[in-house]
Amino acid sequence: MQAVFSLRNTAFRDILFVEYLDIESGTLFGITGKSGSGKTTLLKLLNNMLTSDTGEVSYYGTNVLMIDPIVLRRKVIMVPQAPYIFPGTVLENIQLVFHFNRKELPAQAEIENLLEQLGMPSVLNRSTANMSGGEKQRIALARALLLDPETLLLDEPTAALDEDNALVVFKYLARWIGAPGKSVVAISHAGSLINDYGDAILDLSGGRIKSLEERSGAHA
Amino acid sequence: MVPMPETISIETWRLAASYLFLILLMIMSQLLKLGHGKEFLVATVRMTLQLVLAGYILELVFSQQNILVTLAIMLFMQTFALVTIYGRVKGKISAGLKKVVALALFVGTSIPLAYFMVVVIAADPWYSPRYFIPIAGMTVGNSMTGITLGAERLARVFETSRPRIEEALMLGATPQEAVREFLSDTFSAAIIPTINSMLGMGIIFIPGMMSGQILAGASPVDAIKYQIVIMMGILGSVALAVYLITQLGYRTFFNERAQLLNNGE
């Protein structure tokens, strides 16, 4: 299988040191580890929001430094742990990110369908001002999914969700990577649904790889 | 039109008599136990010395009509303004933004001033110090305020709105798109004091320059013509300087990989 991301002797300050890592495409790749273990830094190296001090990070075999960072970030969308939702309505948020990506807005029915699948029916014209953390997290995820990127980088995508909604999200992601050319790299705390849905789980400790568990028969 | 009376030249003893107000202030300060008497005295002495010096220098410069001397005075004013801005924003802006501040000040004031002298005033010669120097002073002074406001505001935006800017970048926005709204806000905030001063002009207050001209014997109609063109010159200069600050300044917060830099990097 082809690697979506490859890291070779990648170091960032005194936060992260990864000698060798391949993340296979078409998988839901989980990253776990205590806070401060370098998880978010690793994710930000993948979409060139940060640049490693040494070594390299490649996206489908091309060093990310050789790819226009804006082009890369339109293919590899990241949703942070506490996503920023722009002022206005949910629809306006979606319109804005489509404008960023120079893409045509999908039909309203398609947008509503996705939001409904994430457990948020009839929110399109709601103001984002008084939304809960869980709602914001799902809006951010929907915003990213609608852009139809090749790869999604998710930082604790279900941290603000209750169990039922977290399950909805993981089930959706498992279906999403079934489509050709789609991959997900998701940070999630150990013992979460990533254990059931992850195709591989990387455990980071002190910025180094503690273990990498490849699994078969995931996406239960 | 009614012929204007000759200007009343202020005799030295009358000039001295105007300092009565300082004495009054000192007495009030004493009665109120403000303890600022020394500061009032220093301010008055400084004002007097600075103006006397400026008066004699200008007399000399006006009599010379030398282009190099005139331009050197403008450069001195711009440099003094730059040092003042750096003093005000000390520790708040990065080295990169400081360079943009300098560029905005020099370009933002020089270009409108040149246009003004050649097209609007059409002085002969174009650098005629009698016109050039006072107008340069007003232009540089007002731009200085606009640039300070703009630079401070821009630095604050990048300090307080990092999550929003980063989110936009992670969603595929260019740095310019990620900060577009903030640039508009910064531009408005920096230019509003100039616009506000235009709104009240002639009703709430008679501008200093116009008052000066009227006192010096010019007809009010001539004085307003000067005031109008100078306000337009100031507006142009402030607008250009602030535009440069926002459009070039935001770039100093990103690197060539469209990553948001930490403050001061």
Cα A62 to Cα A8: distance, rounded to the nearest angstrom: 12
Q: Per-residue b/e over A109-140, b at no fewer than 16 CB within 10 Å? A: eebbebbebbbbeebbeeebeebeebbbbbbb
The minimum CA-CA distance between B105 and chain A, rounded to whole Å, is 32
Superfamily assignment of A3-214 in CATH?
A: P-loop containing nucleotide triphosphate hydrolases (3.40.50.300)
Using CB atoms within 10 Å of the CB of residue A66, give its burial: 0 to 12 exposed, 13 to 18 middle, 19+ buried: exposed
**Where along chain B do its domains lie?**
7-64, 67-253
Handedness of CA B6, B11, B17, B18 (dihedral sign): positive
Q: pLDDT per residue over B206-263, tens digit each? A: 888 888 888 888 899 999 998 999 999 999 999 999 999 999 999 999 999 999 998 5
Token reading at B40: 């009032």
What's the gap in Å between the CA of A149 and the closest CA on chain B? 10
- Mutation site for B-interface testing, chosen from A72, A73, A74 by largest number of B Cβ within 10 Å: A73
Closest residue to B172, CB basis, from A73, A79, A84:
A73
Tell whether B92 is within 8 A of chain A (Cβ): no
Dihedral over alpha carbons A113, A111, A86, A139 (to 10 degrees): 30
Q: Which DSSP category does A199 fall into?
A: S
Question: B161: which chain A residues are within 8 Å (Cβ-Cβ)?
Answer: none
Whole-prediction pTM value?
Answer: 0.87
Contact: A48, B163; criterion CB under 8 Å: no
pLDDT tens figures, B141-167: 999 999 999 999 999 999 999 999 999
Model confidence pLDDT, tens digit, residues A126-167: 999 999 999 999 999 999 999 999 999 999 999 999 999 999
Q: What are the residue boundaries of the structural domains of chain A, listed by start? A: 3-214
Kindly report, residue by residue over B95-141, the tens digit of the pLDDT: 999 999 999 999 999 999 999 999 999 988 999 999 999 999 999 99
Angle, helices B129-160 vs B37-64, to 10°: value is 130
Is the torsion defined by CA of B68, B73, B79, B81 positive or negative?
negative
